[in-house]
Amino acid sequence: MKTRNFLKGALAAIALAAATVAPAQTYKSEYKMSLVLGTAFPWGKGGELWAEKVRERTQGRINIKLYPGTSLVQGDQTREFSALRQGVIDMAVGSTINWSPQVRELNLFSLPFLMPDFAAIDSLTQGDVGKQLFGTLEKAGVVPLAWGENGYREISNSKHAIKSPADLKGLKIRVVGSPLFLDTFTALGANPTQMSWADAQPALASGAVDGQENPLALYQAAKLHTMAQKHLTLWGYIADPLIFVVNRDVWNSWTPADREIVRQAAIDAGREEIAIARKGLVEADRPLVKELTGLGVTVTELSPAERDAFVKATRPVYDKWKATIGADLVNTAEKAIASRKK
Ligand code: X2X
């Protein structure tokens, strides 16, 4: 009896010791975070904020290194999600656009003119739609933690001001990711061409392509006005949220307490990143727009009627992709937007 008790005690002690030292044995010395854009951009800042908070709050147990330029997949941002699933990438702050080739539901945010304002984006990401999409991502094999934002993608080009779909006719426009973009720009009469962000900049600088679409904060930080992008139209046709995710095996290798720290840090960093991404656009006088005008950029604003012409021209694309994305999900999104708090 005594021996048995002694053995029991010894086994319990060993189990306890093993549980205590296990994390130190299984944790990597460095976790690789993939990002398309570095810390000069709101996106990269979001990644940096996440990594810093995690390092501080885990006392360095989880040490994250940033890999901007999607360098872990040689700059091919549409391969980021697969690499994340496979464990080539440990964690990422990624755009819904770049992951949409693998997760068709993420095309939701690229439906032309679905989201009229920032409150509309929030009504999706912070509501049922956001929860449903996180469920989809979990099923796809990653652990989604929080939302961030790249932003409203405004169109620029080197040729002339765009006020109507006719102005897009024949323009060679660089687009990313999903075939949905090819459909949208083809419907508008443009000549879309798919390429990564890394390839887009030299293509814009050399004039191999005429235009592109990206958020104003990105336009400013990448100095697109020096790449002949003198004409900018604020049409707000789509916005891409960012998602903070971790590879599932990496997630499972952490203690429950550390998982909670990483999740909360992502939520906090995401909230801060969204504020950074919207800076200069949500204030009454929109200082960012002023700044770009000051750089010699022609900024075109559309009247409701002018904007409507773009909505009409892209409606068949919306309808076609609504079916691909899932009519139920899109209906839920439309309802959430209709009843949003402004
Ligand atoms: O490639 C782009 O346009 C960018 C940087 O905005 C994305 O990664 C979606």
Q: Is 214 in the pocket of ligand 1 (CB under 6 A)?
A: yes
Atom of ligand 1 nearest to the CA of 97: 9
Domain parsing of the chain, residue ranges: 2-106+118-149+241-278, 154-238+282-338
Taking the centre of ligand 1 as the mean of its atom positions, its distance from the CA of residue 96, in whole angstroms, is 10
Strands 154-157 and 91-95: unpaired
Taking the centre of ligand 1 as the mean of its atom positions, its distance from the CA of residue 214, in whole angstroms, is 7
> Over the stretch 39-73, which tens digit does the pLDDT of each residue have?
999 999 999 999 999 999 999 999 999 999 999 99
> Looking at ligand 1, which residue's alpha carbon is closest to its atom 4?
197
The reply to whether 2-106+118-149+241-278 and 154-238+282-338 are identical in fold is yes
CATH of domain 154-238+282-338: 3.40.190.170
Taking the centre of ligand 1 as the mean of its atom positions, its distance from the CA of residue 298, in whole angstroms, is 22
Strand arrangement, sheet containing 91-95: 64-67, 31-34, 91-95, 239-247, 142-152
- Measured over the CA atoms of residue 207, residue 186, residue 130 and residue 284, the dihedral's sign is positive
Q: Is 168 in the pocket of ligand 1 (CB under 6 A)?
A: no
> Over the stretch 291-339, which tens digit does the pLDDT of each residue have?
999 999 999 999 999 999 999 999 999 999 999 999 999 999 999 999 9
Spatial neighbors of 129 by CB under 8 A, at least 6 apart, are 108, 123, 329, 332, 333, 336
Identify the CATH assignment for 2-106+118-149+241-278 out of 3.30.565.10, 3.40.50.12500, 3.40.190.170, 3.40.50.720. Answer: 3.40.190.170
> Over the stretch 73-124, which tens digit does the pLDDT of each residue have?
999 999 999 999 999 999 999 999 999 999 999 999 999 999 999 999 999 9
Q: Is 150 in the pocket of ligand 1 (CB under 6 A)?
A: yes
What b/e string do you get for 235-257 counting C-beta neighbours within 10 Å, with b at 16 or more? bbbbbbbbbbbbbbebbebbeee
> Over the stretch 163-222, which tens digit does the pLDDT of each residue have?
999 999 999 999 997 899 999 999 999 999 999 999 999 999 999 999 999 999 999 999
